[in-house]
Structure 1
């Protein structure tokens, strides 16, 4: 198996054992503005900066300005770098399914596939009180399809996931619960922390103990590790 995909943040790479692992799905979950999209986008830019390609399935409407900002911190030729990041814009739940299926067409030419977010449209269906179970099964099928591509082509897959408040524990839990966690080889919880920092906590990994944390901050140039403050 090849080397992991660097995230562009040294602390996160160390936490993950080198970066986003190939052959598995890595799930990033947390509340809004926790850094999920920034981390996924940073990894895509890092992949492109190394001369490889990435597929970014975008349900959130990523900022082109932010992409260019991250790219310009890595190279003077922003256009060349950006040309190696394939962005697939998705406008609804059905389009998300199509984009995930179409990822197979790019699997041989990319090193990283990002689905940001896996559950945004699922959350809408869930609140509209449609068949939430059917919608969750559909998302799970999408994730398992991406997992099969990761295994077959030795690439990294990153999905971002939103949270809901569990009424029993009053804690934020990842949407999709055990279903999506089961298919995720690595689970990383992101949250806003004091001083404007973000905290990443490793909750699941095949080769590292759960519970390790690091802090980072989001800057104009990308993601910067922060020394732990007691």
Structure 2
């Protein structure tokens, strides 16, 4: 018996879908799709036929049919009632940063089902905050944690497990157990970086991952795609990568935290005014849920400022970094 897409959608939930459930996709085509990074039906449904054809090496006409059938399966054309969306939003939680000033700035901490970006110049605390969140996510919910584990994708070679040990001791966690709950990988290319986000989904299913960190989001893209002639290709690839991160956040009710570098804008130079901006342009800017800019303050302090947030006003918080981690200024 051949079922149409609507009938199959009623029989399976999203977790049970396989690529071969898409009408017209056999094992050979499914293998090509997986090798191209399309590991589930949703990733196909939100792609364009042109993108799918080029990435998987299949005819455009075939890609058009596959995308159409995938969209039927996951019901991308179905509207939701606002009350249902509200119920889904109420499932989102807040993860403490371990610093009261930063938590207050963020409305209670880093939110799940969202991407939070920390950007700023070298030495402003981006990597320190990332390390600390990898520890605090393991705390009990009563202490602001999510009782989960963390995945740390390191693009610049700055991950330091010994830093986690010091931070874990300060918040009262056993350092050995804290290290057991952080899964890290050093990546060297943009394709490697994107692949590991897909691998992260496999780990998340088995190890209650509640935090995914990429430190930093754009450094490899910036290194690989040099010059204006490669800008369009870079931005398209970066956009697909960010989509994967958003999907991860929503699928696992997890917090996604990315760090980002900044660059100067010489065309808008104004003496005494910071004219730097985060890397990635509009593709990154429009996709981030929360954008937090970091800069150095007086007497070894750091200043965090909300630049963009759907539910928080623009404001600032002051914190410091010492051997304990990211802490409040006394």
8 Å CA contact 1:48, 1:85 repeated in 2: no
- For the pair shown, the structure with the greater C-alpha radius of gyration is 2
Choose the corresponding residue for 1:157, options 222, 241, 256: 256
Choose the corresponding residue for 2:163, options 66, 70, 77: 66
Instruction: Give the corresponding residue for 1:135.
Output: 234
Q: 1:168, 1:32 → 2: CA distance? A: 22
Q: 1:134, 1:104 → 2: CA distance? A: 25
Q: Secondary structure at the match of 1:180?
A: helix
**Deviation (angstroms), 1:178:** 1.6
Instruction: Give the corresponding residue for 2:326.
Output: 223
Q: Secondary structure at the match of 1:168?
A: helix
Name the CA shift for 1:172/1:126 in 2 (closer, same or farther; >3 Å). farther
**Deviation (angstroms), 1:126:** 3.9
Choose the corresponding residue for 2:268, options 159, 162, 169: 169
Instruction: Give the corresponding residue for 1:193.
Output: 297
Instruction: For structure 1, list consecutive stretches of 5 or more residues without a partner in the other structure.
Output: none
| Further displaced range: 109-118 or 83-92 | 83-92
Name the CA shift for 1:52/1:76 in 2 (closer, same or farther; >3 Å). closer
Q: Secondary structure at the match of 1:49?
A: coil
**Deviation (angstroms), 1:8:** 1.4
Instruction: For structure 2, list consecutive stretches of 5 or more residues without a partner in the other structure.
Output: 1-90, 141-146, 270-274
- The structure richer in helix per residue is 2
**Deviation (angstroms), 1:20:** 0.8
**Deviation (angstroms), 1:77:** 2.3
Instruction: Give the corresponding residue for 1:30.
Output: 120
Across the aligned residues of Structure 1 and Structure 2, the Cα RMSD in angstroms comes to 1.7
Q: 1:188, 1:52 → 2: CA distance? A: 24
**Deviation (angstroms), 1:209:** 1.1
8 Å CA contact 2:115, 2:245 repeated in 1: yes
Choose the corresponding residue for 1:41, options 123, 131, 143: 131
8 Å CA contact 1:93, 1:121 repeated in 2: yes
| Further displaced range: 11-20 or 165-174 | 165-174
**Deviation (angstroms), 1:176:** 0.5
- The structure richer in strand per residue is 1
**Deviation (angstroms), 1:191:** 0.9
8 Å CA contact 2:164, 2:175 repeated in 1: no
Q: 2:300, 2:165 → 1: CA distance? A: 23
**Deviation (angstroms), 1:173:** 0.4
Provide TM-score, normalisation by structure 1. 0.92
Give the number of equivalent residue pairs. Answer: 226
Query: Does residue 84 in structure 1 map to residue 181 in structure 2?
Result: yes
Choose the corresponding residue for 1:180, options 254, 262, 284: 284
Q: Secondary structure at the match of 2:264?
A: strand
Provide TM-score, normalisation by structure 2. 0.65
Q: Secondary structure at the match of 1:194?
A: coil
Query: Does residue 115 in structure 1 map to residue 219 in structure 2?
Result: no
Choose the corresponding residue for 2:111, options 21, 26, 32: 21
1:162-181, Cα deviation, whole Å (9 max, x unpaired): 00101222311000022101
8 Å CA contact 1:111, 1:155 repeated in 2: yes
Q: Secondary structure at the match of 2:148?
A: coil
